[in-house]
């Protein structure tokens, strides 16, 4: 796999702390990782003074989270080149849903609406570089899409996108794991909140699209096309092959 450099990053000395062990540990969990710029002396390592609140968050590879991997050889090569690189986790590949709350944008107030539900769920939690929270959930087969501004100060990062991992540097503080416990499945109330937001925005649910297209029946001559599209969708959703075959052939 080609290693791509997109922006200048300051050259670290050989004595500086490396985040390689942490990156490898996340990859061993099955979380796909890739290197991002880091924060040094209150500024982004890319050297752009206009990075602002995005400092230490943008990728060091050309394809960003699409380059994320579990391969320890590639991970080791990346962090040998950039020992201080922050660790990005691609949520889609990793089958994760991350509830991202930003107190500067009203995230704490928005979370208050879900206080009882959140207290009932034990899952992995990270304190972010701007004193927010990342709550990680296992996506499984839930139909959850990445949703920005689900509520004021609340984003959901799921099928596309990435988050910065614990152990990385931030503008106000390091990213720190507050609760290292097994992941909980994404709760139904969060799935419903995301789907309701999509409906309100006129985006609809993926399942609604298939129902609308297939419910009236598929005309003769179009069945192979429909089956191919459906097979691709089911594979994208990581439905096991034996189940896909039953759904398509029955």
In the prediction, which pLDDT does 202 show? 80
Say yes or no to pLDDT of 242 above 90.
no
Cα–Cα distances (Å) from 145 to 122, 187, 190, 196, in that order, read 22, 14, 11, 11
In the prediction, which pLDDT does 201 show? 84
Measured in whole angstroms, the distance separating CA 154 from the mean position of its chain's CA atoms is 14
Nearest 5°: phi and psi at 232? -65, -40
pLDDT band at 18 (very low <50, low <70, confident <90, very high): very high
Residue 25: CB atoms within 10 Å:
15
The size of the chain, in residues, is 250
In the prediction, which pLDDT does 223 show? 60
Tokens of 39: 């924060």
Write down the domain spans for the chain.
Answer: 1-90, 94-203, 206-249
Cα–Cα distances (Å) from 184 to 8, 97, 104, 142, 188, in that order, read 39, 10, 27, 13, 11
Over range 32-54, report the average pLDDT.
93
CATH topology of domain 94-203: Prim-pol fold (3.30.2250)
Express each pLDDT in 188-237 by its tens digit: 999 999 999 998 888 655 444 444 445 445 555 666 655 665 666 565 45
Express each pLDDT in 146-155 by its tens digit: 999 999 999 9
Average pLDDT, the chain: 84
Could you give the CA distance from residue 190 to residue 196 in angstroms, rounded to a whole number? 10
DSSP string, 150-217: EETTEEEE-SS-EEEPTT---SSS--EEEE--PPEEPPHHHHHHHHHHHHHTT---HHHHHHHHHTT-
Say yes or no to pLDDT of 37 above 70.
yes
Say yes or no to pLDDT of 57 above 70.
yes
Over range 93-106, report the average pLDDT.
96
More confident residue, 244 or 195: 195
Angle in degrees, 0-180, between the axes of helices 72-81 and 20-28, rounded to the nearest 10? 160
Predicted TM-score (pTM) of this structure: 0.76
Beta-bridged to residue 185, according to DSSP, are 138
Most confidently modeled of 110-114, 204-208, 242-246? 110-114
pLDDT band at 52 (very low <50, low <70, confident <90, very high): confident
Say yes or no to pLDDT of 65 above 80.
yes
Exposure string of 182-218, with b = 16+ CB inside 10 Å and e = fewer, is ebeebbeebbebbbebbeeeeeeebeeeeeeeeeeee
Nearest 5°: phi and psi at 185? -65, 145
Say yes or no to pLDDT of 243 above 60.
no
Say yes or no to pLDDT of 14 above 80.
no
pLDDT band at 238 (very low <50, low <70, confident <90, very high): low
User: Which of 68, 10, 76 minimizes the C-alpha distance to 37?
Assistant: 10
Residue 95: CB atoms within 10 Å:
20
CB 163 within 8 A of CB 91: yes
């Amino acid at each position: 796999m080609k290693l791509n450099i997109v922006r200048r990053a300051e050259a670290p000395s050989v004595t500086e702390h490396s985040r390689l062990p942490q990156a490898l540990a996340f990859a061993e969990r099955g979380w796909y990782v890739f290197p991002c710029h880091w924060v040094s002396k209150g500024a982004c390592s890319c050297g752009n003074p206009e990075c602002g609140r995005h400092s230490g968050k943008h990728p060091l590879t050309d394809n960003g989270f699409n380059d994320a991997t579990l391969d320890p050889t590639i991970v080791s090569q990346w962090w040998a080149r950039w020992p201080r690189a922050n660790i990005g986790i691609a949520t889609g590949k990793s089958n994760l849903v991350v509830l991202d709350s930003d107190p500067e944008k009203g995230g704490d107030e928005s979370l208050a609406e879900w206080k009882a539900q959140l207290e009932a769920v034990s899952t992995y939690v990270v304190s972010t570089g701007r004193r927010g929270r990342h709550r990680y959930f296992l996506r499984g087969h839930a139909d959850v899409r990445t949703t920005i501004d689900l509520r004021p100060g609340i984003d959901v990062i799921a099928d596309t996108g990435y988050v910065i991992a614990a152990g990385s540097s931030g503008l106000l503080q390091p990213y720190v794991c507050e609760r290292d416990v097994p992941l909980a499945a994404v709760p139904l109330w969060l799935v419903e909140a995301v789907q309701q937001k999509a409906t309100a925005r006129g985006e609809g649910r993926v399942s609604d699209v298939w129902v609308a297209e297939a419910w009236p029946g598929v005309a003769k001559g179009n069945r192979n096309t429909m089956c191919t599209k459906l097979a691709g969708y089911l594979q994208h959703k990581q439905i096991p092959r034996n189940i896909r075959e039953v759904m398509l052939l029955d």
